Structure 1
Amino acid sequence: MQAALALAGAFAAGWTAQGWRADAAAARVQAVQSEKDVAQAQQSQAATENKAGALLQHAHDQQDNIHDYTHKLAQLEAGRAADTARIASLQHAVSAAATRSAQLAGNAAACRDLADQHQRLAALAGEGGAVVAGLASLVRQRDAELGLLAGQISVDRGLIGQLP
């Protein structure tokens, strides 16, 4: 009976020691897994920080582009306003010249004045042509800027498509 009790005690002690070994092995596996999880979390954090930095840079670049575009639009608007004033002045000058031409058509002095007015009108017409050419240039410039903005929008859409 004592032998059986001793055998049972030895068995229980071995069983307990084996359990401790198993617990230690499980703890080592958990420690290794925890280290892997920490490394993965650090990599994920670094990737998130990199992506956030890229997004901040993109936002800054986009803000600069919008500022430049707004400034350019203001310049174009100022140019258009000046051209509108010049066109109105040219229209007034043409109207006044037409009125004077009708009044002076009856005599020789009127003919000389008419010739002078004609020269001025020709000069004004040349100026008007230059204004129209300038406006056409502004329209081409605006179209080019719109093309650049369309490219920016395409880049932005591409970036948005890459975001999770």
Structure 2
Amino acid sequence: MTGRGKTILATLALAGAFAAGWTAQGWRADTALARVQAEQSGKEMMQAQQSQTATENKAGALLQHARDQKENTHDYTQKLAQLEAGRAADTARIAGLQHAVSAAATRSAQAASDAAACRDLADQHQRLAALAGEGGAVVAGLVRQLDAEIGLLAGQIRVDRGLADQQ
């Protein structure tokens, strides 16, 4: 072999080695790229799972709030119906008391001049005092009903605040 043949052969060997190195380097780069892509997709999957968990937790909190609010609204509606029935009965009792007081005042004015009427007047005053006591009981019942309404509204506020705290 001549010098020129050896040079060509060496150049071909060098070109082959370069091509083999280039191919091996390409494989390494492909492997590194695949590794990076696998890591990135793993991170994205983890983020997606965390996002899904957060969404499920929030949905659960919203569902619980809706259940609590529905229950509280039902309780409130039921209590309002009871209170309204009590108010109607109280209105009838108050009207009766007003009529009794008016009648007692009329009888009192008519009987003021008579001594026997004075005894009747004293009896009427006792009955009037009893009616006034009954009127006080009606007012106390109204106050209890108002307190119950306030308690139900406070429960609704607690439910709404619980939702706001969870968000």
Q: TM-score normalized by structure 2?
A: 0.78
One-letter amino acid of the structure 2 residue matched with residue 110 of structure 1: A
Which residue does 1:49 correspond to in 2? 56
List gaps (5 residues or longer) in structure 2. 1-7
Q: What RMSD in Å do the two structures reach over aligned CA positions? A: 2.5
Give the paired residue count: 160
Cα deviation code 1:139-160 (max 9, x no counterpart): 344444444444444434433x
Structure possessing the higher radius of gyration over alpha carbons: 2
Identity %: 73
Say whether residues 1:16 and 2:42 are aligned partners. Answer: no
Structure 1: 5+ residue runs without aligned partners?
Answer: none
The one-letter code of the counterpart of 2:142 is L
Q: Does 1:139 align with 2:146?
A: yes
1:33 pairs, out of 40, 63, 66, with 40
Q: Distance in 2 between matches of 1:147 and 1:47?
A: 29
Q: Name which of structure 1's ranges 128-137 and 50-59 shifts more when overlaid on structure 2.
A: 128-137
Q: Compute the displacement of 1:15 (Å).
A: 0.8
Q: Deviations over 1:113-157 (max 9, x none)?
A: 434423321221221122222233333444444444444444344
Distance 2:42 2:160 in 1: 43
Q: TM-score, normalised by structure 1?
A: 0.79
Within-5 A mapping of 1:63-102: 63-102=70-109
Letter in 2 for 1:117: Q
Q: CA deviation at 1:19?
A: 0.9
Matched, 1:123 2:121: no
